[in-house]
Structure 1
Amino acid sequence: MIIKPKTRGFICTTAHPDGCAANVQEQIDYVKSQPALEDGPKRVLVIGSSTGYGLASRIVPAFGSGASTVGVFFEKEGTERKTGTAGWYNAVAFEKAAHEAGLYSKSFNGDAFSHEMKKKVIDTIKEDLGQVDMVIYSLASPRRNDPDTGEAYRSVLKPIGQTYTNKNLNTDLAQIEEVTIEPASQDEIDQTVKVMGGEDWQLWIDAMEEAGVLADGFKTVAYSYIGPELTWAVYTEGTIGRAKLHLEETAKNMNERFGAGTSVVSVNKALVTQASSAIPVVPLYISLLYKVMKEKGTHEGCIEQIQRLFADHFTAENGPTLDEKGRIRIDDWEMSDDIQAHINDVWESVTTENLTEISDFDGYQTEFLRLFGFGLEGVDYEADTDPVRELPSA
């Protein structure tokens, strides 16, 4: 079939397999252009490895330090009539590139929250690698089924305590609108913590410890976001922020159990991802952020962020640099005073009429489509393409 982008709100319902492969290769080429990661991890499990930061977190250790990697994700394969998800095509492309480079790589597609998936992955690690020295937790799911009871939990993006109103970018219409979000109930808060907090991260580490597949001195990291004060009400001080606090508490508990420095939360930069596109206010903020950071030469994508995370923190001689709450901050360039002062200045004045002038909305749209394999150089988007792509066998 000839595959074209079909967008609906913050979702693109099609993905281009060749474009996704080109996107993955671009990231691999970037990592290979950087200095090798001396003393980088050699056996890495990435939970949530098919898109965004999770995908980059598999590419960097594999092609930066020659690591064997195991990836876990929940994606849909393509059929003769319908494309698969971008994450599926990303995983296929990564596996192919890793095998061609002589790297061990194995992927698991299914529910990472389930006991069955944990057992399957752990059994494979035990048989093939023995142990892993790094576990990266990068799941961004809107729902989770309790592995014991089967109860379904759903996360919500809502403020806590009071109604929130602010500017929002309608990405379909390229219009600045006002968004009002009612506060979450206690049940919605609790469910969001169940989905987006640290409980499942802890369950993975518990199961791996019990099975003996965590190497001595292993490290584990989970990803978070804080963002600017103008988004705090709906994010940092909202339901997602409450879940991220639980994530940080989980890291502290694991450090007490396994030793200081074992577990850390990395606060990453705001980027166009499938997850961030769904958060009210954030697409407008990212459009403004991209413009000023590109002008100052400090803009980074997922792969640059994770390369810096590994190079400056995980493989640094003195270990990671932490903030006062024990977190790594690779959002430091985003949150610099000059960047945030500029965004605060233009936030009040941005309108539908001047959107493309004072923001990088064009760049936002381009990045959004690239997530799904569209707009990549060297890809013939008029060519007939087979949407069925299988994961290479190990």
Structure 2
Amino acid sequence: MIIEPKMRGFICFTSHPKGCEQNVLNQINYVKSKGAIDGAKKVLVIGSSTGFGLASRITSAFGSNAATLGVCFEKPGTEGKPGTAGWYNSAAFEKFATEEGLYAKTINGDAFSNEVKQEAIEAIKKDLGQVDLVIYSLASPRRTNPVDGKTYRSVLKPINGVYSNKTVDFHTGKVSEVSIQPVKDEEEIENTVKVMGGEDWKMWIEAMRDAGVLADGAKTVAYSYIGPEITFPIYRNGTIGKAKDHLEATAHELTDYMSSFNGEAYVSVNKALVTQASAAIPVIPLYISLLFKVMKEEGIHEGCIEQIQRLYSERLYTGGEVPVDDKGLIRVDDWEMREDIQEKVSKLWDIAGSDNLSEIGDLEGYKHEFMSLFGFDIEGVDYAADVDETTSVKSIQ
């Protein structure tokens, strides 16, 4: 079928298998161009199909020749209906990894469930023995906790009163004022922490250790974001921020837990990037479009793959101690948070409007990044050609 983008708000309901494949190949080629990384050789990536998780799997495989097991929750294409971008990304990754003789298997299911955890553990036992790196990169609006059977739903809300500021409709370029109502009660905060905090990460690591599939000296890394003060009310000081606080506290708990086998747990604070999750957060698209403009002018702009390749090569696997800040966090948002960068973005924010955003911001760059998440607007892809929407992930039969 011929697949075109079908959009509503910050959601794209279609994805393009050939576009996703080319996007994965572009990331692989970038990692290869940067040279070998003396990193982990057996890697589990939980949340492996898009964004930072996909970039982590690509960097592990094509930077360190690692065997990778991925866990994701995606929908395959059926005749006349495209699958999700994550499905096509996983299919492309497995194709290219297999061509280079690398082990690549994907488990498609609810990573929050005990069943998927056990399936991953059994696959590691059978095929890999143990893993020496676990990447935790899940993004979900809801989670069913296998302990109490309850389904928790996260909310994206400020905590200390109504928050009003600018935002942009990145499809039209219209800048407008948005007001977001605060949480109704403490339960909304607790539910968001249940979904997006560190509880499930800890359950994965404990289950894997109990099963004997974590190697001596294994590392585990989860991803977070802090951002500038302008986004604090809706992000760091909002419900998401409480979840991120919990995630970061969990890293310290896991570090103590893993010390018995010389293991290490980290949270990496990454740069603001266009992802399906960040596109849903009011204010963030406008901030990112201005940030992209400034960082590109300074020659320090990064996407997911550049961020994760730098995380691996300059933080996790340097041959020495992993550099962290005074809170124990790995910071690869360091270029974004440079004082001169933030000062320029802040000045642009003050004057940003519908009439000048195309000049002072990089809205076109934002749109491109968003479309590429779904395999569209990728150079070298013939979007007028017939494609097979039923492309399969070989390891999922």
Q: Normalized against structure 1, the TM-score is what?
A: 0.98
Greater displacement, 93-102 / 384-393 = 384-393
Which among 351, 354, 368 is matched to residue 352 of structure 1?
354
Secondary structure at 1:111 match in 2: coil
1:8–1:172 Cα contact (<8 Å) kept: no
Question: Equivalents in 2 of 1:319, 1:372: separation in Å?
Answer: 37
Secondary structure at 1:44 match in 2: strand
Secondary structure at 1:218 match in 2: strand
2:55–2:304 Cα contact (<8 Å) kept: yes
Secondary structure at 1:251 match in 2: helix
1:168–1:284 Cα contact (<8 Å) kept: yes
Aligned to 1:87: 86
Question: Equivalents in 2 of 1:68, 1:132: separation in Å?
Answer: 9
Aligned to 2:192: 192
Question: Equivalents in 1 of 2:271, 2:126: separation in Å?
Answer: 36
Question: Equivalents in 1 of 2:345, 2:17: separation in Å?
Answer: 36
Instruction: String of CA shifts for 1:278-316, please: whole Å, max 9, x gaps.
Output: 111000000000000000000001000000000001111
Aligned to 1:263: 265
Aligned to 1:377: 379
Secondary structure at 2:63 match in 1: helix
Aligned to 1:232: 232
Letter of the aligned partner of 1:2 in structure 2?
I
Does the alignment pair 1:17 with 2:10? no
Any gaps of 5 or more consecutive residues in structure 1? none
1:155–1:196 Cα contact (<8 Å) kept: yes
Question: Equivalents in 2 of 1:84, 1:246: separation in Å?
Answer: 33
Q: C-alpha displacement at 1:146, in angstroms? A: 1.3
Q: Tell me the C-alpha RMSD between the 2 structures.
A: 1.0
Question: Equivalents in 2 of 1:125, 1:198: separation in Å?
Answer: 22
Aligned to 2:304: 302
Letter of the aligned partner of 1:107 in structure 2?
T
Aligned to 2:36: 36
Aligned to 2:287: 285
Question: Equivalents in 1 of 2:98, 2:155: separation in Å?
Answer: 39
Question: Equivalents in 1 of 2:315, 2:148: separation in Å?
Answer: 39
Question: Equivalents in 1 of 2:263, 2:391: separation in Å?
Answer: 40
Secondary structure at 2:107 match in 1: strand
Q: C-alpha displacement at 1:261, in angstroms? A: 6.5
Q: C-alpha displacement at 1:197, in angstroms? A: 0.1
Letter of the aligned partner of 1:152 in structure 2?
T
Any gaps of 5 or more consecutive residues in structure 2? none
Q: What is the correspondence of 1:66-215 to structure 2 with a 5 Å cutoff? A: 66-184=65-183, 185-215=185-215
2:124–2:213 Cα contact (<8 Å) kept: yes
Question: Equivalents in 2 of 1:392, 1:101: separation in Å?
Answer: 15
**What number of residue pairs does the alignment pair up?**
393
Secondary structure at 2:133 match in 1: strand
In structure 2, the CA distance between the partners of 1:335 and 1:104, relative to structure 1 (3 Å rule), is: same
Secondary structure at 2:115 match in 1: helix
Aligned to 2:60: 61
Question: Equivalents in 2 of 1:51, 1:17: separation in Å?
Answer: 14
Letter of the aligned partner of 1:310 in structure 2?
Y
Q: What is the correspondence of 1:306-317 to structure 2 with a 5 Å cutoff? A: 306-317=308-319
Letter of the aligned partner of 2:173 in structure 1?
A
Instruction: String of CA shifts for 1:211-258, please: whole Å, max 9, x gaps.
Output: 000000110000000000000010001100000010011111111122
Letter of the aligned partner of 2:126 in structure 1?
E
Aligned to 2:278: 276
Q: C-alpha displacement at 1:365, in angstroms? A: 0.4
Letter of the aligned partner of 1:304 in structure 2?
E
Instruction: String of CA shifts for 1:342-387, please: whole Å, max 9, x gaps.
Output: 0111111100010101000011001110110011122110011111
Secondary structure at 1:36 match in 2: coil
Question: Equivalents in 1 of 2:213, 2:376: separation in Å?
Answer: 39
Letter of the aligned partner of 1:323 in structure 2?
D
Does the alignment pair 1:324 with 2:329? no
1:131–1:214 Cα contact (<8 Å) kept: yes
Letter of the aligned partner of 1:120 in structure 2?
E
Aligned to 1:221: 221
Secondary structure at 2:351 match in 1: coil
Secondary structure at 1:348 match in 2: helix
Secondary structure at 1:291 match in 2: helix
2:156–2:238 Cα contact (<8 Å) kept: yes
Aligned to 1:386: 388
Letter of the aligned partner of 2:349 in structure 1?
W
Aligned to 2:340: 338
Q: Percent identity?
A: 61
1:224–1:244 Cα contact (<8 Å) kept: yes
Question: Equivalents in 2 of 1:182, 1:292: separation in Å?
Answer: 31
In structure 2, the CA distance between the partners of 1:258 and 1:393, relative to structure 1 (3 Å rule), is: closer
Q: C-alpha displacement at 1:148, in angstroms? A: 2.7
Structure 1 consecutive aligned stretches of length 4 or more whose deviation exceeds 2 Å? none
Letter of the aligned partner of 2:51 in structure 1?
G
Question: Equivalents in 2 of 1:212, 1:81: separation in Å?
Answer: 44
2:173–2:358 Cα contact (<8 Å) kept: no
Question: Equivalents in 1 of 2:267, 2:101: separation in Å?
Answer: 31
